[in-house]
Amino acid sequence: MRIMIHRQNPRVGLSFILRKDGREWLSKLRTLDLRSDRGSTIVESLIAAVVIALALNALLMALSTGMVATNFNSERVTAEVAARSQIEYVKTLPYAASYSAATSLLPNASWQASITTTVVSIDLQKVQVAVSRNGSQLASLEGMKANR
């Protein structure tokens, strides 16, 4: 059996002539009109570029969302730490019937803490601290203070 490649006809892409027992069989593996195949590479390239652009856009959107969530959680954790710090500060103050204050936490005035105490019993107070940044509340914690 001999295999020969036949490429004379531009309408037949690749075909093989199989010779066996003196007979020839034409086996067309790929029959294409090669003259009309000229623009398909440009269209395929444009489609591939669009698919890649969409994939990169989805990746960048996911990264952006992750960065926003990380920034929000970082601010919230900072606010909770600041609130705990303010509760501990109020606990170090002398016992008073009531205490209320609004203070700036950092040199930057965008972080504010609002502290209030309410009497629960004769020797016990509830301390409430709300931490906000640029007017939006990020954390609110409560603690207890005893008269020692």
Stretch(es) of the chain classified as CATH 3.30.1300: 40-146
| Region of residue 22 (phi > 0: left; psi between -120 and 50: alpha; otherwise: beta) | left
Q: What is the CA radius of gyration of the chain?
A: 38
Q: Which fold has domain 40-146?
A: Pantoate--beta-alanine Ligase; Chain: A,domain 2 (3.30.1300)
H or E element that contains 26: strand 23-30
The candidate with the shortest Cα–Cα distance to 18, out of 27, 9, 10, is: 27
Q: Could you read off the pLDDT of 37-62 as tens digits, one per residue?
A: 556 688 888 999 999 999 999 999 99
Q: Could you read off the pLDDT of 128-148 as tens digits, one per residue?
A: 999 988 888 989 999 998 887
Return the beta strands (E) in 105-135 as ranges.
Answer: 111-121, 124-133
Q: Could you read off the pLDDT of 80-135 as tens digits, one per residue?
A: 998 998 889 888 888 876 778 877 776 666 888 889 888 888 888 899 999 988 88
The candidate with the shortest Cα–Cα distance to 20, out of 4, 8, 35, 6, is: 4
Percentage of the chain exceeding pLDDT 90: 26
